Amino acid sequence: MSKQEIVMPQMGESIQEGTLTKWHKKVGDKVEREEIIFEISTDKVDTEIPSPASGTIVEILAKEGETVNVNAVVAILDTSNSATSIVEAPIKQIEPAQLSQPQPSHAIPESPSQKVAASPLARKMAHEHDLDLSQIQGSGEGSKIVKNDILNALQNGKISPLIAAAAAQVAAPVFSAPVEHIKNSGGSTEGIVDGVRVQRVPMTAMRKKIAEHMVMSKRTSPHVTSVIEIDLQKIVDLRNKFKDKFEKTHGFKLSFMPFFLHAAIEGVKTVPIINASVDGDTIVYKKDINLGVAVALDWGLIVPVIKQASEKSFVGLGRELNNLAEKARLKKLSPDDVRGGTFSISNFGGFGTIIGQPIINQPQVAIFGIGAMQKKPLVINDAIAIRTTCHCVLSFDHRVIDGSDSGKFLSTVKNVLENWTIPIM
């Protein structure tokens, strides 16, 4: 028998572990190369992992819900041609040395609900509350059921027949419980604390990692945030003029983000220390500009990376961003897609926020934030005009970046956007 090990992939430079959230296959199942076999969750990404080869799964070494070190073996694949049928064996526990503090398992049994498109968190919540996913309307991408759909179903009483029958016989009021009983990490619990009805829902593995990473970043870098206002009217007019032709020619919609990406790249070229990192008492200047662009998903935040961004055309930047965002939403990001970022961009303006203070994505030393676009009166050549503007910010590590550096970067971004000369077709 020819064996091949299936390992926990590394989904980013700083990622040392991942939580195996779901198995799509079991021992004895045959799989094809690139067929999805399990899902993982880290602080950078929730994604589906394909099989590295064709064969039959002969051993599973990590259960659903367990947190496993990067490169630890999670399954064994028999890739020999003679492998035809294998008797299913019980799941074998991975060695403790390969695991990092396993989390409680929340494996979901096979049911009709399994056929419904749902995020891992939504599926877990539905299992905990005995909800039938097939009776819930999804509001996510492609009608996928997300966390808010589950919360709405619970609030509106869309529960499974089993729970409904029980509820018809016995009323289930919110119970009063001591705080120590409510702090249950194994699932959602309800109770009353200081006279207030509460519901406690454990963080997902991804949310825990995001929390740890953000706290570590604030502890590591003295954060300072600078703000600049930018007149975007020229960009707005340009996009309105060419957006239909652009989509017809290139096959994807023309958003405002490629304009900001290009302007940020020019800012980095002007102030190279923006694209650096700190190693002890040494500043490491990065010669490549790899832009990490935050993508908000219903189950967390992912930062895929546009590699060699300074070498791409305007259309190339837009196409790469569009492809990475789509892969993120479909959980198709590869380890390389989230690795190697040197500078990050957060478009919190997409949700209406005018000004924000983004937290630096360590080990980087700065992050660029884009606020909401809004029309307002501006003085142009001593006359008042209605223009589309936005506020952009730079949060930076004051250990190595000064206010003057931040000012030069933001001024460069402003100049590029207000005096746009780059061909967009």
Q: Which residue in the list 130, 237, 288, 402 is annotated as catalytic?
A: 402
Rounded CA gap, 139 and 122, in Å?
A: 12
Asked if 103 contacts 19 with a C-beta cutoff of 8 angstroms, the reply is yes
One-letter identity of residue 73: V
SS3 content of the chain, % helix, strand, coil (to 5): 35, 25, 40
Choice among 46, 223, 398, 405 that is catalytic: 398
| Spatial contact of 409 and 270, defined as CB atoms under 8 Å apart | yes
Strand 223-231 with 383-397, pairing: antiparallel
Question: Using CA atoms, how far apart are residues 399 and 215, in angstroms rounded to an integer?
Answer: 17
Dist. CA 89–CA 105, nearest whole Å = 19
* Closest alpha carbon to 417 in 226, 227, 225, 237: 237
Region of 387 on the Ramachandran plot (φ > 0 left; ψ -120 to 50 alpha; else beta)? beta
Question: Sign (positive/negative) of CA torsion 395, 338, 114, 76?
Answer: negative
Crossing angle for the helix pair 147-156 and 120-128, to the nearest 10 degrees:
30
Phi and psi angles of residue 351, each rounded to the nearest 5 degrees, phi first: -105, 10
397 is catalytic: no
CA distance 276 to 400: 9
**Coil/strand/helix, residue 83:** coil
Which of 71, 102, 90 has the alpha carbon at shortest distance from 26? 90
Distance CA 167, CA 129 (A): 13
Residue 29 and residue 39 in contact, taking contact as beta carbons nearer than 8 Å: no
222 prior amide bond cis, ω within 30: no
Q: Determine how many CB atoms are found less than 10 A away from the CB of residue 389.
A: 19
Of residues 148, 151, 139, 68, the one with CA closest to residue 102: 68
Asked whether the beta carbons of 409 and 224 are under 8 A apart, the reply is no
How close are the terminal C-alpha atoms of the chain, in Å? 55
Q: Is 405 a catalytic residue?
A: no
User: Which residue numbers are catalytic?
Assistant: 398, 402
